[in-house]
Structures are given as structure tokens and as C-alpha cells.
Amino acid sequence: MGGAGLGREPTVKEALLWAVAVLRGAGLDDPRASAEILLSHALGVSRGRLLACGDDPLPLDKWEEFVGLVERRRRRVPLPYILGSWEFMGLYFVVRPGVLAPRPETETLVEAVMEELSDRGIRRPVIADIGTGCGAIAVSLAKYIEGAKVVAVDISPFCVEVAKENAERHGVLGRVEVLLGDLFEPLRERGLLEAFDVVCGNLPYVPREAIGRLQPEVGKFEPKVALDGGPEGRDLLTRAALEAHKFVKKGGFCAWEFGAGQWPWVRTLLKSAPGVRRIGMRRDLSGRPRVALAFY
């Protein structure tokens, strides 16, 4: 089989040029990055190494594999689902359709929790991660905070399985318990009242009618249950803020991720939420308000 219309297998450089043209034609913002990531994946080499061997011909089987990967990306399948794994906080998480791929903005939440715990001198904290998805927040906190115990909750049975798999992959399954249920319900069932130094989460916050306007990778492929925050995007965070005081210890805190432009209503919500003494906010790397802190 010839490739990229050349009548022979293409070189690395030619394969990349072909893929960039295909992906640009499909309307991707990042055709070059996608092409390089997919070819590195097919060849099992780093992106740096890939660019250093641009004149090497691709073996036929690798070329065919690459064509298949590019075709999926052309249909706007998110890169994390194609690769089956995605990086968060320097760790690689198993990600599959049915589970939201962790976003760089969410690292702001993990970092805020670690800093606040360290500032308060809280060692071996007990943490709840509500809406854990693939377990990105729960597993990172368990991995980076010595002796931390984390209870992670998700309403999706599939997410619970994937989060357990990620906890095992990173060697923290002994300190991360993953429970199925609606928000705090599994904690209530276990009698975990005022049991947590930290309650945190990245709950769905996209206004329902905006989901159809998201880029196709998100709106078409990522699970609605991970995005849909109700008519105004406020349902889950509002429920969580009104109940959190029952589960956080006195002297503990909550950290909640929220969407672009939502800080004014989140601030109002938390200021009047039961048990909250003081609130704070952290910005993401683009400078946008992203994480709300509520101190109890």
C-alpha cells in the first residue's frame, strides 16, 4: 500500500505533513500537535525523537496504524480516548470513553489543596473527592501527600471502576477508597460526619443548553453526566455547598472547581453556605478564577 498519495510508504516528515493537512481540513485547532502526538504514539517514541528522525521511512504496519489514528482524530474523537491515557499532575491516568479526561485547570485545585494543608500544618489528612471521574484529583493527592487517606465518590459505576484502576496503577489503592453514589450519600451511609480535613471536587458546571455549543471533542464525546450542571450550571455545586458542612471537620476546608465567569455566583453561594467562616479563590494558569475555597 502506498501512503499519502506517494506510491510508497512515507517518511516521518511526509506522514506528518499528510496528517496535518487532513486534521486542519477537519477544523482542529491543533492539527500539528495532534499529528505529532498520534505518530509518536504509533511509533512508541517521544515527540522530540520523532522530529529528529524526519527522513526515516515508516514501516508499513506503523503507517497503517497511524492512518487509523488520524481517521479517529479527524472525526474529532478526543486525543485522550484515542491514546487511552492522559497526563495530569505528572502522572498518567487511564481514560476511556465514559470518563472525562482530566484538564490542566484542575491541577490548580490539587495544588491549592496541597498548599492549604501545608500552610495549616495538617499531616496525614483525610480527604473527600466528590465526582472523582478517572480519579485524577483523588489519586494525585494520595500520591503527593504522604499518609493522606482519600475517599472518592462518583455517581457513574464506570468512573468508579476506572478510578480504582488508576489508584492501583499509581500504587495508592490502599489509601484511596472509591465509592458509588450521589454526592455525599455514600459518606452519610458510612457515618462519615465531620470526618474530613478537606472536601473537594470538580463537579459538572456547564449550563445544560451550552453543552451543544462546546467543541465537538467535548460536546459529542465526553459524558453528559460529567458536564451537565443543570439549567444554569449551578445545580451540583449548590447542592454540595449546602451540605458540605456536615462532612468537613471544624478547621477544615472545601475546594471546588468552577467554570469561567462563575466566580460571582459561587462567591455569593459560599458566603451564605452553612458553617463557612471565610472564603478564598485561586486562579488558573490563564489568570481566570477557577477554584473556590471555603473554610469551616
Applying the rule CB under 6 A, the residues between 155 and 184 that interact with ligand SAM are 155-156, 159, 182-183
The piece of 42-50, 63-71, 74-82, 148-156 that touches ligand SAM (CB under 6 A) is 148-156
Size of the site for ligand SAM (CB under 6 A): 22
Q: Find the binder of ligand SAM among 15, 28, 95, 100 (CB under 6 A).
A: 100
Q: Applying CB under 6 A, which part among 38-46, 78-86, 125-133, 243-251 lies near ligand SAM?
A: 125-133
When the beta carbons of 223 and 280 are compared against ligand SAM, the nearer one is: 223
Stretch that binds ligand SAM, among 71-79, 99-107, 191-199, 275-283 (CB under 6 A): 99-107
Residues 203-262 binding ligand SAM (CB under 6 A) are 203-204, 225-226, 236
Closest distance of CB 130 from ligand SAM, Å: 6
Q: Looking at 34, 106, 108, 262, which residue binds ligand SAM (CB under 6 A)?
A: 106
Using the minimum distance from each CB to ligand SAM, give the nearer residue, 70 or 137.
137
Q: To 10 degrees, what angle do helices 31-43 and 12-25 make?
A: 140
Site stretch for ligand SAM (CB under 6 A), options 60-68, 75-83, 119-127, 196-204:
196-204
In this complex, which beta carbon is closest to ligand SAM, that of residue 35 or of residue 150? 150
Q: Which of 11, 132, 140, 262 binds ligand SAM (CB under 6 A)?
A: 132
Burial class of residue 170 (count of CB atoms within 10 Å of its CB; 0-12, 13-18, 19+): middle
Count Cβ atoms within 10 A of the Cβ of residue 256 and give its class: 0-12 exposed, 13-18 middle, 19 or more buried. Answer: buried
Q: Report, in Å, the least distance between residue 156 CB and ligand SAM.
A: 4
Q: Quick one: 65 or 161, whose CB is closer to ligand SAM? A: 161
Stretch that binds ligand SAM, among 45-53, 127-135, 171-179, 267-275 (CB under 6 A): 127-135
For residues 126 and 225, which CB has a smaller minimum distance to ligand SAM in the complex? 225
Distances (CA, A) of 35 to 28, 30, 41, 81, 100: 11, 9, 10, 15, 22
Taking CB under 6 A as the binding criterion, the range among 37-45, 77-85, 111-119, 202-210 that sits at the site for ligand SAM is 202-210
What's the number of CA atoms in the CB half-sphere (13 Å) around residue 11?
8
Contacting positions for ligand SAM (CB under 6 A)? 100, 102, 106, 130-133, 136-137, 153-156, 159, 182-183, 202-204, 225-226, 236
